[in-house]
Amino acid sequence: MTWYETIDEKLARLRAEITQVQDELIEAEAELADQKADIAAFEYEYNARAGYLLEQLAALEEEVKHYLDQIKLLRNRRIFGTDHVPVEEQYRRVWQQPPPPPPPKPAEPPSAATEAQIKKLYRQLARRFHPDLATGDAERARRTEMMAAINDAYAARSMTELMAIARRAESATPEATAASGQTAEEMAQVLEAEVRRCRRRLHAIDLEMTSLHQHHLVELMLEVKFARKRKRDILGEMAEELQRKIARKEAERDMIKAQFDSMGLQGGMIGRDGS
């Protein structure tokens, strides 16, 4: 016997399916936003405890390299004359670009209590304004704009902005929930299209989550979290090791600088631009 689904049964099935996939979509969006926030919070902690020391060490290494280059330049000038410019220096002047400015530090993460409130409010707003829950193109465009503001506020961990969006939403005109004049078959087509749209977005979120797991700080973040459970402070250990390297590099810099100063006094100082 062949099973036949009536249009009413089909509509009921599609409505149940779209309710389920929409719930999955909202949770996936929230999980993606949480992952991004966790990475940003760890980046802030990393920069505050160890990242700035890496920058300090890199600056010292650049300073040491500069003095070594200047010492080499002084020696070459004594041998070949004051107009001599080594090939390496000619290449540097022509091709080497200045280093890019360091990226801005992420905002300081909120307290645990505030974080929980932010997550709760974000989910409430996402459930109300997610574009894939719209029933028409005009509504989807309005929801897309609203959801962008919600995501920006959530990424910034701004409870103030999220609450302002929520207040605007309360005073807004209620949305139409369905288009008028649609036949049952047309409504079924709309619901099927919405199910496909939500599943495409779920797939896109899954791909984005996978790419987040490849972020250069994620492996270290997981290692730090695991170590904390064993009462080990990996970032503290990194900071101590970097401080030891900085002390050694400062001593090396001071020794090379003294050599450079001595040679400069004997043969004329060279500026930082090599002139």
- At residue 182, the pLDDT reads 72
Residue 241 has pLDDT above 80, yes or no: yes
In this prediction, residue 1 has a pLDDT band, given cuts at 50, 70 and 90, of very low
Look at 224 and 175; give whichever has higher pLDDT. Answer: 224
Cα–Cα nearest to 110, from 161, 45, 166, 158: 158
Q: Is residue 182 within 8 Å of 190, Cβ to Cβ?
A: yes
Residue 159 has pLDDT above 50, yes or no: yes
Whole-prediction pTM value?
0.60
- At residue 100, the pLDDT reads 56
Of 120-124, 204-208, 209-213, which range is least confident? 120-124
Unique residue bearing structure tokens 């894939």: 132
Q: 270 to each of 78, 87, 259, how far by Cα in Å?
A: 13, 17, 13
218-229 and 7-46 helices, crossing angle to 10°: 80
- At residue 74, the pLDDT reads 80
Unique residue bearing structure tokens 């450079």: 260
* Residue 111 token pair: 């307290």
Look at 59 and 131; give whichever has higher pLDDT. Answer: 59
Average pLDDT, rounded, for the chain: 79
Q: How far apart (Å, rounded) are the C-alpha atoms in residues 20 and 203?
A: 15
Q: Is residue 253 within 8 Å of 60, Cβ to Cβ?
A: yes
Of 65-69, 133-137, 165-169, 269-273, which range is least confident? 269-273
Q: How far apart (Å, rounded) are the C-alpha atoms in residues 155 and 39?
A: 11
pLDDT in tens, 41-82: 888 899 999 999 999 999 999 999 998 988 888 887 777 655
pLDDT in tens, 12-38: 898 899 889 888 888 888 888 888 888
In this prediction, residue 91 has a pLDDT band, given cuts at 50, 70 and 90, of very low
- Could you state, in order of their start, the residue ranges of all structural domains in the chain? 24-100+107-174+188-267
